[in-house]
């Protein structure tokens, strides 16, 4: 295989120039286990260790699956010397830690948000995943799996659409292959997609179907609650026969957002569009007079559940900003107090008329 099969392009080649010498070669991280990384260069796949002083280019944490790195092959031990600046990094809050970022996958172009028909797609979970995808600079595509187990797959797709009304929805079966070619249209050669979803929705089964072989381990869900075990225990990048790269991820029990409050808007474009018509430029769409978003909800143009989810994700993102930057706490509180005062004054003027 060539490096271009793994997504190498002119941008990364230009970024690599400052590190170029006889001992340094470019490589992509294709697997991460506890304490080690497997990387692919132009000639081989090797296990590498991170240098004690790693040039991360400002990227948080150790190398992630999908990273392009500078590999030092001067000695028998392969050493990662630097991480090239990422494009499209999917991050979440590290499980069990409120204030630490965890890169799930790097240099991602598309996020396949996987839900199954067995328990019904979860619109609220889809909304969170869509927000993560847009914040990463990647395109979200919702994938509804196991349609061979459902008499009405269209209803399952419509349920998924509640959480992503402006994203592509692909319903498929990894067993009989229906819908798979439609999914591949979203992953052209040279692009990278990541499978994101809870355990038991069929991510590894789908990956095996796309690969054309049983390379990734799979397990069955429990009959009692249709929940699955964590079959995938590591993140791994594979090149598909059709072209393009695919990253499989362990099932995520805690999908903690890691994004700024303003990024949530991208997941709710219908709210962002109507917000331009609000009386106040910093309207929060809660109980303010002249709120065009609330008016749209009352008129049935915007689903109230979408607005509720928007508020919930905005609060979560703002709380993260406050923890990471204590000065932001005072800024947010001052803004809320000032806005509340402005609303009370507007109500007084309205009541006098």
**pLDDT tens-place string over residues 29-79:** 999 887 678 999 999 999 998 888 888 766 667 889 999 999 998 888 899
Start and end residues for every CATH 2.40.50.140 domain found in the chain: 3-83
Nearest to 188 by CA among 31, 2, 3, 7: 7
Per-residue pLDDT tens digits for 163-199 = 999 999 999 999 999 999 999 999 999 999 999 988 8
Intervals of CATH 1.10.40.50 along the chain: 261-352
Instruction: Specify the CATH number of the domain 90-248.
Output: 3.40.50.300
The span from the CA of 19 to the CA of 41, in Å, is: 15
Per-residue exposure over 172-199, b if at least 16 CB sit within 10 Å of its own CB, e if not? bbbeeeebbeebbebbeeebbbbbbbbb
For residues 308 and 259, the model is more confident at 308
Going by their DSSP bridges, the two strands 235-239 and 245-248 should be labelled as: antiparallel
- Write down the pTM of the prediction: 0.80
Higher pLDDT, 286 or 263: 286
Does CATH place domain 261-352 in 3.40.140.10? no
* Max CA separation in the chain (angstroms): 83
Average pLDDT, the chain: 83
| Whole-number pLDDT of residue 327 | 58
According to the CATH classification, is domain 3-83 in 1.10.10.1150? no
């Amino acid at each position: 295989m060539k490096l271009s099969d793994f997504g190498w392009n002119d941008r990364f080649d230009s970024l690599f120039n400052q590190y170029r010498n006889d001992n340094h070669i470019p490589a992509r991280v294709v697997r991460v286990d506890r304490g080690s990384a497997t990387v692919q260069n132009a000639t081989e796949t090797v296990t590498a260790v991170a240098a004690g002083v790693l040039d991360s280019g400002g990227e948080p944490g150790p190398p992630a699956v999908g990273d392009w790195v500078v590999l030092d092959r001067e000695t028998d031990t392969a050493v990662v010397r630097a991480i090239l600046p990422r494009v499209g990094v999917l991050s979440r809050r590290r499980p069990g830690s409120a204030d630490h970022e965890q890169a799930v996958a790097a240099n991602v172009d598309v996020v396949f948000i996987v839900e199954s028909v067995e328990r019904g797609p979860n619109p609220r979970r889809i909304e969170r995943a869509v927000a993560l995808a847009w914040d990463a600079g990647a395109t979200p595509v919702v994938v509804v799996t196991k349609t061979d187990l459902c008499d009405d797959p269209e209803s399952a797709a419509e349920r998924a659409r509640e959480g992503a009304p402006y994203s592509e929805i692909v319903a498929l079966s990894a067993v009989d292959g229906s819908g798979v070619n439609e999914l591949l249209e979203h992953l052209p050669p040279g692009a990278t997609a990541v499978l994101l979803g809870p355990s038991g929705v069929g991510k590894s089964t789908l990956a095996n179907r796309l690969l054309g072989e049983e390379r990734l381990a799979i397990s069955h869900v429990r009959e009692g609650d249709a929940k699955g075990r964590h079959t995938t225990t590591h993140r791994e990048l594979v090149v598909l026969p059709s072209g393009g790269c695919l990253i499989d991820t362990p099932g995520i029990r805690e999908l903690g957002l890691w994004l700024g409050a303003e990024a949530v808007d991208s997941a709710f474009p219908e709210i962002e569009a109507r917000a331009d018509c609000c009386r106040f430029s910093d309207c929060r769409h809660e109980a303010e007079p002249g709120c065009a978003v609330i008016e749209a909800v009352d008129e049935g143009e915007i689903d109230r559940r979408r607005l509720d989810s928007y508020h919930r994700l905005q609060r979560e993102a703002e709380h993260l900003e406050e923890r990471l930057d204590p000065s932001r706490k005072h800024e947010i509180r001052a803004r809320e107090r000032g806005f509340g005062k402005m609303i009370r004054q507007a109500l007084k003027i309205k009541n006098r008329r």
